[in-house]
Amino acid sequence: MDWYALALYMKEVEKMASKDKFQEIDKMFDELQKANDETVDSLKNKLSSDQDLLSFKNTAGKKAAYLKRPSLPRLVPKTVKTRLDIFLYCMKNVDYGEDNVRSYVDGHLAALNKYLEQASFNQTNLEVVYGTLYDELKKMQKASKDDLYDKGYADGLSYVDQALRRSKDVMAKNINDILKKELADE
């Protein structure tokens, strides 16, 4: 028996089988693509017929409304020395943009003002503020965020959480830098 001829024959059989599989897979893919195109076209037609769903569409001369989730300032000035000052700096330097949805911004500001007030009562211990915030964050995660005010409020709570964490991280870094400097001088 010629083993070499048998091996060549087996390779040819494998190639033919794999071509058939590829053709079958290619045929299935084409059928899926056709079904997907039909589904997409039917959805486009349905959406274009529903005028209620197009409330955010640009109209003549007006800009479309959008939500811009504000982010913390990237850098905190070196002149800010205490954790409370860092927290206040982050809370007072929020950029919402010009075209943000008003009800979203109102909800966001409500959350910020609530925790600014709490921070003014607990200036030496921001962990008290964090405890209250943590409880409210858990409640808001379960609440529906269909209303833009509620979504803004929930994002505001998240922003306050980030500001508290940033103040803690910046203070830890400052303390670390001071300790390194002191140890290097010895």
The amino acid that residue 97 corresponds to is: G
Which phi-psi region, left, alpha or beta, contains residue 39 (left: φ > 0; alpha: ψ -120 to 50)? alpha
Average pLDDT of the chain is 77
What tens digit of pLDDT does each residue of 88-131 get? 888 888 888 888 888 889 999 999 999 999 988 888 888 888 88
What tens digit of pLDDT does each residue of 157-174 get? 999 999 999 999 988 988
The whole-angstrom separation of Cα 118 and Cα 84 is: 12
Whether the Cβ atoms of residue 177 and residue 130 lie closer than 8 Å to each other: no
Per DSSP (E only), the strands in the chain are none
Give me the mean pLDDT over the 75-90 stretch.
Answer: 85
